[in-house]
Structure 1
Amino acid sequence: MDTDMETAESIQADVFVPTKLLRDKIRQFSQRHREELRAKSKDALRFGLGEIHAQVEELNNITVKDVLGLVKRIKRRKHASVEEMYRFSHAFLQSIDNIKIFAKEPGALQIIIKELTGIDSERQIGAVECLCNLSLGEAPVCEKIANLAGSYLVTYLDSLDERLKRTSLWTIANIMATSAKAALVVVQMEIVSKLWNLYIDDSGDKDLTSDFREDAAVCLQLLVVQNRQVLRMEDLNFIKCNMCLKKRDGIGAEYHLQLLFHGEAINPKRELNMEESIYLIDYILENLCTIDGFTSISNRLRLLYGIRLLANILACQPHALNVLLQHIKEVFNTNVEDMFNKMFAYRSQRLTMELIYLLRQLLSLQENETQPILTLENLRIANMDSCMT
């Protein structure tokens, strides 16, 4: 198996989904929720619109002083109402200073977490949304959330309430993106199997507005790529043993090969069986032979990691070559040279480097074949100096 970390890191830098995208998603969801509440208020109350407008403006301008006032109020009662948690949520979105001042107040976080312990779903949702926006803070804040509320967040991944489940996923993603210590805490709560089962579940519809698969994929990406050191052997074995359950056309499928690569599913110490080899080869070739273009992150994830994994499969399991060649010819009605030339034509330096590594593997195996796999003269390798990154 190849150990060229520089190349692996270059792929990672090229296709790692920035956590800013997830955080923007949280903000957009909160903004939509606020607009929905405003619309409902107007529908229910055809009078007093000026008062409603003033309340909305107040939510958009919560200061540190306001946060301190809210903290003082909930500490006095040892309880936070849904409205107070809603105000905290907006305060944390608006300013990192609001997050910092709340985190410094002894006992304030514990009061929010206390609202998770009851059976009132509205209070639970209010508390989790509060924690989600609080997790936009720095590492110490995220570590406190993981330690004090991690077990609740992991449990809510099994919830039937979509809003509770989605917000818990976002909170978990935030704390893992911010702190390796927080990531370790939730990993020890058996989160990997829960995330993986959410990710591979392709039984539902493809309505992205009520879907958890991509959010689960982002969480897994944060673990296997950014926090690989916190994963246990049983976590990696679980991923490998269940990798064949993900469909290539399922939501979040573009992350699949990246997760398998960084999760070391293809490893000389963990031999692939025939079913796994066929699944991976078919999955990868479907990407290589049907995808047109290399500009989107989705296509880059599928192509770069597909080529790298294919090379590693051949390095670890040379007998897989016959399966590969048979599928290229009989299933996808093409040949190795045309497949390579299609991807060389994208003129990407990073993609070309990966293709050359795969080419080295094929040429090494070709020495033992009676028929040539390919002819170098037929490959149209672009000048590396003229390639894009």
Structure 2
Amino acid sequence: MSEVAEEENPTAVTTIRETVKENIRIARLRHRQDELDNLRITHGDPEDDSINLQTFTKNDVLDIANKIKKQRHASTTDLLKLCHAFLQSIDNINCFVNTTGAVPVIVKEMTGKKTETQMLAIECLCNLSLGSEDTSEKVAQKAGTYLHTFLQSSNESIVRTSLWCLTNLIVAGKKPLKIMISQEIISALINVTLSIHNRNLTDESYVAIELILDHGGVPRPSDIETLCAKWILHQEAPLDLGKTKIVYKLLNLLEFKSNDAIEMDKLVYICFGTLLNLYDVTSSSPPAPSESREFLHQVVLLMRICSNLVALENSYADYIIDNWFRTQSRSLATFFNYFIKQMAATNLSIEEIYWFIGNLMKCQLSDTTLKYVETDEFFAKIQMEV
């Protein structure tokens, strides 16, 4: 029986994670500015344009912080200025956070009744969370539960900015992440994926969940199994790439084992069903070069999942071959050869496919399945060199 996939290089994984975090941060900084500009065009005052061009110093931020703390209120102009100031320098962020009583005023405005004010307050906290781990810890403590609640908003701009803020807090460090986990951020994010039909918002949620898993936000096997039961059992094939990544990371944390056999049965059905769908959809019309990397990334993850599950439970090999190939008169060799050809054409390693094939054929196959493999001329047709 094959073992679970070989461990990844820790140094390489760390480097990739840091690169991903930085790319996400830069992309969202740009996207936030566009979103906020759209709000100004719709709702803002003429002075908003001048704020866009201002450079804010620590003294400017300190003046605003003292002003709003004294008044226990922040105007839309104050919030706009702070949004820009926090993006301009870490010193501005530190100055504001170190002003006792200033952050609670922003949180207070976030919980008000005016949508524009709420949006700008969330934007302030979002940009504030780009500071240090200690700064993000304070934001998580004071605003985390409110941000979770905003994920249920009917206003998609508010949901989106709340997701950005939460993601910043997730990657800021262990302290804010621990707070977010205690506030049940995973349940809040899962609810977005199950209840919101805006693809961009669900994708943002998948990124946030994936980052939580990457940063050890769900350390206990019992917590991971709960997440599997609450999320995976709601999924249907075919999965998209975002969902596939989360399934893979969850199972990797569980070492591909679960005490719930029914759950794992459904997992095999969902994952191999997705793999077969990718084959059916693209075999007649292969993905464009610009899409092939993403397509093959998902194929590799699904191959890994199915290969590990087959290695740990031999009966799944019979289930896969009998259910999707023998009874449907499909050729197993043609199926695997298609993906081998696609991966070779993109200069990707085809070892993942051969590993899966090896695990399937090492299983104790039934007489019916063995007869199908023989009739399919699998070993004669499978392409072993490209």
Query: Structure 1 CA distance, aligned partners of 2:327 and 2:18?
Result: 31
CA contact (8 A) 2:129 2:165 kept: yes
- Offset, 1:230: 4.0
* Residues 234 and 310 (structure 1), Cα distance of their counterparts in 2 relative to 1, 3 Å cut: same
TM-score, scaled to structure 1:
0.80
Q: Deviations over 1:288-319 (max 9, x none)?
A: 45344586563244112100111122123322
Percent pairwise identity:
21
After superposing the two structures, state which structure 1 stretch, 9-18 or 95-104, moved more: 9-18
Query: Structure 1 CA distance, aligned partners of 2:14 and 2:358?
Result: 22
* Residues 332 and 104 (structure 1), Cα distance of their counterparts in 2 relative to 1, 3 Å cut: farther
After superposing the two structures, state which structure 1 stretch, 4-13 or 129-138, moved more: 4-13
The correspondence of residues 128-167 of structure 1 with structure 2, limited to 5 A, is 128-167=122-161
CA contact (8 A) 1:288 1:303 kept: no
In the other structure, the counterpart of 1:343 is 339
- 2:244 paired with 1:260: no
Query: Structure 2 CA distance, aligned partners of 1:95 and 1:317?
Result: 54
In the other structure, the counterpart of 1:305 is 301
In the other structure, the counterpart of 2:207 is 218
CA contact (8 A) 1:200 1:247 kept: no
In the other structure, the counterpart of 2:20 is 18
Query: Structure 1 CA distance, aligned partners of 2:125 and 2:231?
Result: 31
- Offset, 1:235: 4.8
- Offset, 1:69: 2.2
RMSD: 3.5
CA contact (8 A) 1:176 1:182 kept: yes
In the other structure, the counterpart of 1:279 is 270
TM-score, scaled to structure 2:
0.81
- Offset, 1:130: 0.6
CA contact (8 A) 2:209 2:246 kept: yes
In the other structure, the counterpart of 2:225 is 236
In the other structure, the counterpart of 2:176 is 182
* Residues 55 and 126 (structure 1), Cα distance of their counterparts in 2 relative to 1, 3 Å cut: closer
* Residues 76 and 351 (structure 1), Cα distance of their counterparts in 2 relative to 1, 3 Å cut: same
In the other structure, the counterpart of 2:4 is 2
Structure 2 unmatched runs, 5+:
none
Question: Which of 78, 88, 104 does residue 82 from structure 2 map onto?
Answer: 88
After superposing the two structures, state which structure 1 stretch, 26-35 or 172-181, moved more: 26-35
* Residues 280 and 371 (structure 1), Cα distance of their counterparts in 2 relative to 1, 3 Å cut: same
CA contact (8 A) 2:218 2:224 kept: no
Q: Deviations over 1:273-296 (max 9, x none)?
A: 544432332123223453445865
- 2:62 paired with 1:68: yes
Query: Structure 2 CA distance, aligned partners of 1:241 and 1:116?
Result: 30
- Offset, 1:113: 2.0
In the other structure, the counterpart of 1:364 is 362
Query: Structure 2 CA distance, aligned partners of 1:81 and 1:137?
Result: 23
Q: Deviations over 1:107-153 (max 9, x none)?
A: 32232223234444433322211111111222221122112211111
- Offset, 1:15: 9.8
Query: Structure 2 CA distance, aligned partners of 1:155 and 1:74?
Result: 25
Query: Structure 2 CA distance, aligned partners of 1:192 and 1:53?
Result: 38
Q: Deviations over 1:53-99 (max 9, x none)?
A: 544322xx223332222222223323322221121111112223322
Amino acid of the structure 2 residue aligned with 1:365? C
Q: Secondary structure at the match of 2:4?
A: coil
**May I ask how many residue pairs the two structures share in their alignment?**
368
Amino acid of the structure 1 residue aligned with 2:171? A
Query: Structure 1 CA distance, aligned partners of 2:38 and 2:70?
Result: 32
In the other structure, the counterpart of 1:197 is 191
* Residues 232 and 81 (structure 1), Cα distance of their counterparts in 2 relative to 1, 3 Å cut: farther
